[in-house]
Structure 1
Amino acid sequence: MHSDAEITTADLVGTQLVRLVRLLERKQAQYQADHPDAVERATYILLVHLVKDGPQRAGTLAESVYSDPSTISRQVAQLVRLGLVERTADPEDGRATLLAATDEGRRVFEENRRNRNERIAGLMGEWDPADRARFADLLVRFTTDFENQHRISTGPAAAAGRS
């Protein structure tokens, strides 16, 4: 059981997270309309994993983003149509396919990341540098704890259902 103060703080954080997600969704929709290199957020996350982690099978990618293979398949097909991802034979198993970011996919990733970082830097530009650093540290901690709790709560039985 949590104290009233803990619940009050959790309510404030939860309310602000919902507000932030709504603002991000609205901003993303506007950004997609204004930028030719914009990619749907859920699909872009796959591109991010392929750029950062290198080529991988669809099942591995699905596990990385906590999604099911059928959803990943549809999203990957869109990335392939856009020329951002390519399918190649897995050198370890010729029957399997690896997904890899193309040069264009890496360019789009870098452009989107640069634009995002510029917007965030502008937003926090008036903040004290110590506040920016503290916020970044706390956000990493919160996100990591959230992710770890998600991994624990999904457990092996849930992970097996995603394979």
Structure 2
Amino acid sequence: MTDAQHPRAAAGTELPEPGPPSEPDGTTCDAIDTVEFQTAVLMRNLEMLCRRGELHQEVDRAGYLLLRTLIARGPSDIGGLAAALGLDPSTTGRQVLAAERAGHLTRSPDGADRRRSVLTITGSGAAAVRAVCERRRERTAALLSGWSEQDLRLLSEMVSRYNRAIAEEFLETDPPGGAS
């Protein structure tokens, strides 16, 4: 779709810049500027998709990543989950409590240290994650339907690499969901 064909252009609304602004001297920004700007746009777009969609009916966004991490890593304690998710234990504890109340995970005493609890995903939790994952995959496939297989593979490699770089800098353990 060209800019002239875009619905907002037809209504007389100016389209946003497709990339970061140019430097004051009129030259284009370097690759790091573009990545920084496009990451900000991506974050905004992902928030918009979440607000406008019904992806998270069975489990909320925070719970989805928590449960995906439990699936990938197996039973864990709150401290291990917090480290994997890059969250503090109190935030993780609140997410665990919500998932536990929804019946998506169980808590049992650790055999080696009864002060610790081991968290395990339930069958209904796994089913909820599968339902959300399937809707997310369908939406992603629709958004990227015109992309070649080669472009999809390149995007997946680059996003995975970007997430690994963030995880290496900020997480104490492997990335959530086994994305290493």
TM-score range, shorter-chain basis? 0.7 to 0.9
Counterpart selection for 1:93 from 103, 113, 131: 113
- Alignment partners' CA distance in 2, 1:100 and 1:35: 21
The one-character-per-residue Cα deviations of 1:123-163 (angstroms, maximum 9, x if unpaired) are 21211211111121122222212222335xx8xxxxxxxxx
Contact 2:57–2:132 (Cα < 8 Å) also in 1: no
- Alignment partners' CA distance in 2, 1:113 and 1:149: 27
- Unaligned 5+ runs, structure 1: 155-163
> Residue 143 of structure 2 corresponds to which residue in structure 1?
123
Counterpart selection for 2:74 from 54, 71, 79: 54
C-alpha displacement of 1:36: 2.9
- Alignment partners' CA distance in 2, 1:110 and 1:94: 32
Matched, 1:36 2:57: yes
C-alpha displacement of 1:11: 1.3
Q: Secondary structure at the match of 1:94?
A: coil
AA aligned opposite 1:82: A
- Unaligned 5+ runs, structure 2: 1-22, 173-180
Counterpart selection for 2:38 from 4, 8, 16: 16
Q: Which has the larger radius of gyration?
A: 2
Structure 1 stretches of 4+ with a deviation exceeding 3 A read none
TM-score normalised by L of structure 2: 0.73
Counterpart selection for 1:107 from 118, 127, 130: 127
- Indicate the RMSD between aligned Cα atoms, in angstroms: 2.3
AA aligned opposite 1:24: L
How many residue pairs are counted as aligned between the two chains?
147
C-alpha displacement of 1:44: 2.0
C-alpha displacement of 1:35: 5.5
Q: Secondary structure at the match of 1:95?
A: coil
The one-character-per-residue Cα deviations of 1:30-53 (angstroms, maximum 9, x if unpaired) are 334x7531x332232111111221
Identity %: 30
- Alignment partners' CA distance in 1, 2:56 and 2:107: 26
C-alpha displacement of 1:21: 0.9
